[in-house]
């Protein structure tokens, strides 16, 4: 035994730990160094007077407020969508789940410009009749798939109901020359080149990240809690609300933060779908772009610093809150 | 009573299995790991899609296709699964509130159960502040609160040290007799099965 120990010690002497530790420290230092240099470059480009001047600009103040409002709205919407979607993917095994999973990742994989372009075309070039027709077609394909795979009868009925509903709506709208944008504008929710469009442009990617977070959250919560709650008289919905949601508190905060931060950094879809009109649809990311365009590099650097500050403080605040609440 | 119940879980298929448990009887279902004990217990509780074949009766009522909450079952799972955000009192009140018991009845029932289980001093504690033995007793109280027709214990003593194991085993035995409940205890330990049950059924 003693011999073994001494031979172990010998190996430690021969192969010391420090090269590996040094390698780790080097990689971390190089990565953090790059990040710090990037922030430092912004700091060195702008003076206090230039920074305060641009922050006093009425359009920039409007941009800051719109950024806060749209990011918060997008985060709330993303949480509302990601909680049920994440729960479904985490708890239910069904045929075609891998396909649904892949489809939900599409916004993350697509170049951001394509998200904006798709929204622009959808709202302005495609008739409501065609939209309803596409939805009816999608529901029909899903229903046929469900029947072929002997899926849940209630889900198949729901899909068939959707086919009928969207088919009828498609007929109702047929012959209309109006676009989807015309219709949403008529009911008071104009989207294209409008502040509401900013939220819609931020939403697909932000929600995709939130869905990932919520799915991981639910995966980490044992289904045993729901099973026990169900033996005590809960149905699935009650078990979800009474038992799972309180446990998912931290995950919900994390998903909201992820969506908020993602929305803050969104640029391409906003530029294409909502535009970058000063004092109207301009958010901080587009402000930086506009300042670069007019050759005001110090102004762009000042706004970049503001965005960095916002992102870091949001993360710190949420981490602090998450550390105090939640049960996971 | 299980009548020729066949269960399928993925590729695992449990061959037709019949078992009759008398009222107030405690039966231990014993067998090696992977023989399907827990799968069968979950099927009895209604936590899996209905059995592929056969029927399940509880107290003369067929429950084969009833949801778990309508079967009159109390479950103590292997990992205890106490709700992390609820106090001991709230754990025991959970099912009673769902079933619309009156406030006084709930208070009385929880008080009696806590007394029988030795949990009086722990009612305002959260699960994170409980020892393994205490957590088992709370889970037992939660499962018994609704006076179930069948108490299902799934390896409910696993992971306890010897002293706690014997203590909780004694509490389970005492509570089964005091409540007059029928019990199905799943275990892989012969010693535990013989200590707790009136009858041992071996699955292989």
For the purposes of burial, counting CB atoms within 10 Å of the CB of A98, is it exposed (0-12), middle (13-18) or buried (19 or more)?
Answer: exposed
Q: What's the pLDDT at A327?
A: 33
The closest of B132, B190, B131 to B160, measured between CA atoms, is B132
Task: Note whether B147 contacts A: Cβ–Cβ < 8 A.
Answer: no
Query: What's the pLDDT tens digit per position in B84-140?
Result: 989 999 999 999 999 989 999 999 999 998 888 888 888 889 999 888 888 998 998
Distance from CA of B88 to the nearest CA of A (A): 15
At B12, is the secondary structure helix, strand, or coil? strand
Q: Which residues of A107-128 are buried (b: 16+ CB within 10 A; e: fewer)?
A: beebebeebbbbbbebbeeebb
**Domain locations along chain B:** 2-82+139-202
Residue spans of beta strands (DSSP E) within chain A: none
Choose the closest CB to A233 out of B84, B85, B99.
Answer: B99
Task: DSSP letter for A223, please.
Answer: T
Higher confidence at residue A8 or residue B199? B199
The closest of A254, A236, A201, A243 to A79, measured between CA atoms, is A254
Query: What's the pLDDT tens digit per position in B6-18?
Result: 565 555 566 677 7
Choose the closest CB to A327 out of B47, B73, B84.
Answer: B84
CATH number of B2-82+139-202: 3.40.50.300
Nearest CA in chain A to B74: A231
Question: B132: which 2 tokens?
Answer: 């393994």
- Cα–Cα distances (Å) from B84 to A235, A246, B80, in that order, read 19, 9, 11
Distance from CA of A100 to the nearest CA of B (A): 21
Beta-ladder partners of B9: B12
Return d(Cα A64, Cα A165) in angstroms, integer: 42
Choose the closest CB to B74 out of A224, A229, A231.
Answer: A231
Return d(Cα A119, Cα A191) in angstroms, integer: 10
Task: Note whether B36 contacts A: Cβ–Cβ < 8 A.
Answer: no
Which of A233, A234, A251, A325 should one mutate to test binding to chain B, selecting the residue with the greatest count of B CBs within 10 A? A233
Distance from CA of B111 to the nearest CA of A (A): 19
Task: Note whether B68 contacts A: Cβ–Cβ < 8 A.
Answer: yes
| Contact present, B38 and B29 (Cβ < 8 Å) | no
Mean pLDDT of B179-198: 84
Choose the closest CB to B75 out of A222, A228, A235.
Answer: A228
At B41, is the secondary structure helix, strand, or coil? helix
Q: What ipTM was reported for this prediction? A: 0.88
Backbone angles phi, psi at B49, to 5 degrees: -55, 145
What is A55-126+188-328's CATH number, 3.40.50.2300, 1.10.3720.10, 1.10.230.10, 3.40.50.12370?
1.10.3720.10
The closest of A328, A203, A322 to A254, measured between CA atoms, is A322
Return d(Cα A179, Cα B59) in angstroms, integer: 63
B47/A230 touch (CB, cutoff 8 Å), yes or no: yes
The closest of B14, B21, B22, B20 to B43, measured between CA atoms, is B14
Element (H, E) at A99: helix A97-109
- Per-block mean pLDDT, blocks of 10 residues, chain A (328 long): 56 75 96 95 90 90 94 96 95 84 90 93 91 93 87 88 93 84 90 93 95 93 93 92 91 90 93 90 93 92 92 79 50
Return d(Cα B135, Cα B128) in angstroms, integer: 9
Q: What's the pLDDT at A134?
A: 93
Question: In sequence order, what are the residues at sequence separation of 6 or more whose Cβ sits closer than 8 angstroms to the Cβ of residue B48?
Answer: B7, B9, B39, B42
Distance from CA of B82 to the nearest CA of A (A): 7
Return d(Cα A42, Cα A297) in angstroms, integer: 9
Query: What's the pLDDT tens digit per position in B25-68?
Result: 888 888 877 777 888 888 888 887 766 677 788 877 888 888 88
Q: What's the pLDDT at A10?
A: 61
């Amino acid at each position: 035994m003693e011999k073994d120990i001494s031979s172990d010690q010998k190996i430690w002497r021969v192969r010391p730990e420090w090269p590996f530790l040094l390698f780790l420290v080097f990689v971390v230092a190089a990565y953090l160094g790059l990040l710090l240099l990037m922030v430092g470059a912004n700091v060195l480009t702008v003076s206090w007077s230039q920074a305060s001047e641009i922050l006093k600009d009425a359009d920039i103040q409007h941009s800051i407020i719109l950024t806060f409002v749209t990011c918060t709205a997008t985060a709330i919407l993303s949480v509302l969508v990601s909680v049920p979607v994440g729960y479904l993917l985490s708890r239910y095994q069904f045929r075609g789940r891998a396909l649904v999973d892949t489809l939900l990742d599409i916004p993350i994989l697509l170049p951001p410009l394509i998200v904006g372009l798709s929204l622009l075309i959808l709202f302005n070039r495609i008739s409501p009749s065609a939209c309803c027709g596409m939805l009816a077609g999608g529901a029909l394909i899903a229903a046929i798939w469900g029947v072929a795979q002997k899926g849940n009868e209630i889900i198949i009925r729901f899909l068939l109901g959707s086919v009928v509903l969207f088919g009828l709506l498609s007929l109702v709208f047929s012959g209309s020359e109006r676009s989807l944008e015309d219709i949403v504008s008529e009911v008071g929710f104009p989207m294209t080149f409008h502040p509401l469009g900013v939220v819609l442009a931020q939403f697909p990617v932000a929600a995709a990240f939130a869905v990932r977070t919520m799915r991981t959250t639910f995966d980490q919560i044992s289904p045993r809690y729901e099973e026990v709650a169900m033996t005590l008289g809960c149905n699935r919905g009650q078990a979800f609300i009474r038992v799972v949601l309180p446990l998912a508190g931290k995950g919900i905060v994390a998903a909201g933060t992820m969506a908020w931060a993602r929305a803050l950094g969104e640029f391409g879809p906003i530029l294409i779908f909502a535009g970058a009109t000063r004092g109207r649809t301009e958010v901080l990311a587009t402000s930086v772009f506009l300042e670069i365009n007019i050759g005001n590099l110090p102004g762009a650097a000042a706004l970049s610093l503001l965005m960095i500050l916002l992102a870091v403080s949001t993360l710190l605040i949420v981490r602090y809150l998450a550390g105090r609440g939640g049960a996971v | 009573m299980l009548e020729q119940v066949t269960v399928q879980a993925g590729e695992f298929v449990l061959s037709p299995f019949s078992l009759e448990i008398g009222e107030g009887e405690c039966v231990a279902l014993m067998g090696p790991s992977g023989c399907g004990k827990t799968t069968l217990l979950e099927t009895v509780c209604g936590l899996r899609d209905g059995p592929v074949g056969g029927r399940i009766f509880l107290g003369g009522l067929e429950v084969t296709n009833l949801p778990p909450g309508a079967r009159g079952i109390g479950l103590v799972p292997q990992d205890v699964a106490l709700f992390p955000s609820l106090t001991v009192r709230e754990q025991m009140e959970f099912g009673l509130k769902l079933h619309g018991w009156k406030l006084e009845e709930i208070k009385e029932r929880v008080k009696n159960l806590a007394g029988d289980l030795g949990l009086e001093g722990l009612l305002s504690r959260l699960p994170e502040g409980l020892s393994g033995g205490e957590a088992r007793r709370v889970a037992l109280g939660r499962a018994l609160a609704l006076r179930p027709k069948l108490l299902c214990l799934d390896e409910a003593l696993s992971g306890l040290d010897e002293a706690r194991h014997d203590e909780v085993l004694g509490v389970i035995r005492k509570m089964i007799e005091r409540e007059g409940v029928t019990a199905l205890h799943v275990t892989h330990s012969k010693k535990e099965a013989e200590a707790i049950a009136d009858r041992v059924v071996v699955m292989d």
